[in-house]
A and B are shown apart, each in its own frame.
Chain A
Amino acid sequence: MSPPLLGVGEEEGRGNVTLMASSSSLDSLCRNSYELKERNYMGLSDCSSVDSSVVSAVADETKSSSLNVKATELRLGLPGSPSPERDPEHCLPSSTQLDEKPLFPLHPLNDGHYSSTQKSVASGSKRGFSDAMDGFSEGKYLANSEVKVMLSPRPSSKLGLKAGSVLENLGTQPANTKEVAPPKIVQERPHAAIEPRASHNGSANSNSCAPATKAQVVGWPPIRSFRKNSLTITSKNNDEVDGKVVPGALFIKVSMDGAPYLRKVDLKNYSAYRDLSSALEKMFSCFTIGQYGSHGTLGREVLSESKLKDLLHGSEYVLTYEDKDGDWMLVGDVPWEMFIGTCKRLRIMKSSDAIGLAPRAVEKCRNRN
Chain B
Amino acid sequence: MNYFPDEVLEHVFDFLTSHRDRNAVSLVCSLWYRVERFSRQRVFIGNCYAISPEKLITRFPGLKSLTLKGKPHFADFNLVPYDWGGYVQPWIEALAKSRIGLEELRLKRMVVSDDSLELLSRSFANFKTLVLVSCEGFTTDGLAAIAANCRFLRELDLQENEIDDHSGHWLSCFPDSCTSLTSLNFACLKGEINLASLERLVARSPNLRSLRLNRAVPLETLQKILMRAPLLVDLGTGSYVHDPDSETYNKLKTTILKCKSIRNLSGFLEVAPRCLPAIFPICLNLTSLNLSYAAGIHGSELIKLIRHCAKLQRLWILDCIGDKGLEVVASTCNELQELRVFPSDPFGVGHDAVTENGLVAISIGCPKLHSLLYFCQQMTNAALITVARNCPNFIRFRLCILDPTRPDPVTMKPLDDGFGAIVQSCKLLRRLSLSGLLTDQVFLYIGMYAEQLEMLSVAFAGDSDKGMLYVLNGCKKLRKLEIRDCPFGNMALLSDVGKYETMRSLWMSSCEVTLWGCKTLAKVMPRLNVEIINEHDQMEICAEDGQRVEKMYLYRTLVGPRKDAPEFVWNL
Contact = CB atoms under 8 A, between A and B. Distances in A.
A17 B439 CA distance: 14
Given A13-B382, A14-B411, A19-B448, A221 B346 contact: yes
Interface in B282-329: 292-293, 295-296
Interface string A95-122: 0000000011010000000111101000
A55 B317 CA distance: 39
Interface in A1-34: 2, 4-6, 8, 12-15, 17, 19, 30
A17 B420 contact: yes
Contacts of B79: 218-219
A61 to B, nearest CB: 9
Nearest to B415: A15
B201 interface: no
A59 interface: yes
Given A154-B403, A224-B134, A13 B546 contact: no
10 contacts: A5-B388, A5-B425, A12-B382, A13-B408, A84-B544, A172-B437, A197-B487, A221-B402, A226-B134, A227-B293
Interface stretch (B15-23, B36-44, B144-152, B489-497): B489-497
A114 B441 contact: yes
Given A119-B463, A136-B412, A227 B439 contact: no
A53 interface: no
Contact of A174 (B347, B348, B439): B439
Contact of B473 (A2, A65, A85, A136): A65
A66 B460 CA distance: 24
B514 A84 contact: yes
Contact of B487 (A41, A92, A178): A178
A76 B544 contact: no
Nearest to A42: B424
A84 B513 CA distance: 13
A175 B495 CA distance: 23
A83 interface: yes
A194 B385 contact: no
A58 B448 contact: yes
Interface string B376-390: 000011100110110
Interface string A219-253: 11111111110110111011000000001000000
Interface residues of B, number: 110
B188 A220 contact: no
Contact of B403 (A152, A189, A227, A334): A152
Interface in B453-481: 457, 459-460, 462-467, 469-470, 473-474
B243 A84 contact: no
A196 B485 contact: yes
B494 A76 contact: yes
A173 B405 contact: yes
A73 interface: yes
A117 B441 contact: yes
A231 B293 contact: yes
B417 to A, nearest CB: 3
A282 interface: no
A91 B489 CA distance: 6
Interface stretch (B63-71, B251-259, B268-276): B268-276
B28 to A, nearest CB: 28
A271 interface: no
A176 interface: yes
Interface stretch (A284-292, A310-318, A335-343): A335-343
Contact of A335 (B243, B466, B517, B548): B243
Contact of A76 (B74, B345, B524): B524
